[in-house]
Amino acid sequence: MFEFIEGSIVEKTPTFMVIQTGGIAYFINISLYSYSDLPKEDFVRLYIYEVIREDAHTLYGFITRHEREVFRQLISVSGIGANTARMILSSLTPNEVSDAIQDGNISVLQGIKGIGGKTAQRIIIDLKDKIGKAGNINEIFITESNTIRQESLSALVALGFMRKNAEKVVGNLLTKQSGLSVEEVIKQALKLL
């Protein structure tokens, strides 16, 4: 429902922040990673994930979209709740979490308080094929100098294909046929992926 909240910092601790905007102050749970990356100014933008339960509406804030995406993927794993995902992102950076999952490194995940062997295995099994797909979706089509290759890759990653597979297919298509438009590359790549 919310994309981000931008406003003045009223209070900040390593586990939560209070941000005032539009005459309303929001209590937002954060990870230690977000806390350490907060700007020095008293004005901040946090990307938000809202958890709605019968007894509470809880906001979780992230300094980057990438961290929020890793959080979303973690809570999609059975047995991993929002607080456990926040604990993981307080112990490791989003990139370290992604690397541990992609490399199948159970010991890194087990080093986090509350994560046992079975939970670490479940995280790796459930997310190994998904974690790389998120990539940096927020960087899609940012610059005007994007090439056909880059735009095609960005679109395929956003559609859920693994970046490595998409790069291989797009590279082969552009090598064999020059002058293809982005739409043509994507259509042909979809048939091959």
- Which domains, from first to last, does the chain contain? 1-135 (2.40.50.140), 140-192 (1.10.8.10)
d(CA 101, CA 176): 35
DSSP SS3 for 59: strand
Place of tokens 């994560």: 115
pLDDT range class, residue 178, cuts 50, 70, 90: confident
Instruction: Output the pLDDT for position 7.
Output: 95
DSSP SS3 for 148: helix
Instruction: Output the pLDDT for position 149.
Output: 81
d(CA 71, CA 126): 14
Tell me the two tokens of residue 110. 């087990």
- Residue 139 reports pLDDT greater than 50: no
Weakest mean pLDDT among 18-32, 72-86, 131-145, 152-166: 131-145
pLDDT exceeding 90 applies to what percent of the chain? 51
- Residue 141 reports pLDDT greater than 80: no
Taking only Cα atoms into account, the Rg of the chain, rounded to an integer number of angstroms, comes to 19
Q: Which residue has the higher pLDDT, 189 or 139?
A: 189
Average pLDDT score over the chain: 85
- Residue 145 reports pLDDT greater than 90: no
* Per-residue pLDDT reduced to its tens digit, 89-115: 999 999 999 999 988 899 999 988 889
* Per-residue pLDDT reduced to its tens digit, 3-17: 999 999 999 999 999
Q: Residues 141-148: what's their mean pLDDT? A: 46
d(CA 62, CA 41): 16
Instruction: Output the pLDDT for position 144.
Output: 32
Q: Are residues 88 and 97 in contact, defined by beta-carbon separation less than 8 angstroms?
A: yes
Cα 15 to the center of its chain, rounded Å: 19
d(CA 189, CA 193): 6
